[in-house]
Amino acid sequence: MKTALATEKLRDFYKRHNRMPSYTEMARMFHYSSRGATYYLVSLLIKQGIIEKDETGKLLPRNLFSIPMYGIIKAGYPMPVDVQEDRQLNLHVLFKQVTQNSFALTVSGDSMMEEGINSGDIVFVSKDVTVKNGDIVAACVDGEWTVKYFQKQGENVSLVPANKRYPVMYPRETLEIGGVVTHVIRSYR
């Protein structure tokens, strides 16, 4: 079996089950009658950097969800693009910070628009990251949840919007930091 076809089948499996298949599942998926054929294919995919094994031998996606990274594009005046076809953006590694202690929220409102976070965007929030000044956080202020910059001076904490039309928020009674925003996703379609 060609590794390109095997890679596509592994992607489909991962999308459906949110995990890599076992060796037995792979043998069935690829219609192999021997485990040796499965081990050989796995070793090829590891050698090509498509999948990897962790310290326990469990298979993990490595470049299973890579897309071409073509270089830089200007958002100002147009310029020629240096196409770098050999570079890949590994989506699995990009979202490696997203752990079991992460969650996602859909943004409603425009108080963070100057930071590029718009209504309808999805933010990934991590509970594992230590909050520091300037981080964007999901916070519960006096019983209401919001996304803002975290600022602390001495004992005073404020939540600062990225839109001049909104005031800085100061907790009157309670403040709970849900976590630090690590990623923003925007879909255009």
Say if residues 81 and 87 touch (Cβ distance below 8 Å). no
Active-site residue, selected from the candidate residues 66, 102, 111, 126 = 111
Cα of 85 vs its chain's centroid, Å: 23
Residue 42's pLDDT band (boundaries 50, 70, 90)? Answer: very high
What's the pLDDT at 73? 60
Active-site residue, selected from the candidate residues 148, 152, 158, 187 = 148
Clarify whether 148 is annotated catalytic: yes
What's the pLDDT at 76? 61
What single letter denotes the amino acid at residue 92? H
Domains in the chain, CATH or no CATH each:
3-64 (1.10.10.10), 102-185 (2.10.109.10)
Determine the Cα–Cα distance for residues 110 and 119; give it in Å rounded to an integer.
6
**Dihedral sign, CA of 58, 60, 62, 63?**
positive
What does the pLDDT look like over 58-116, one tens digit per residue? 898 888 777 666 666 656 666 565 555 566 666 666 666 666 778 888 999 999 999 99
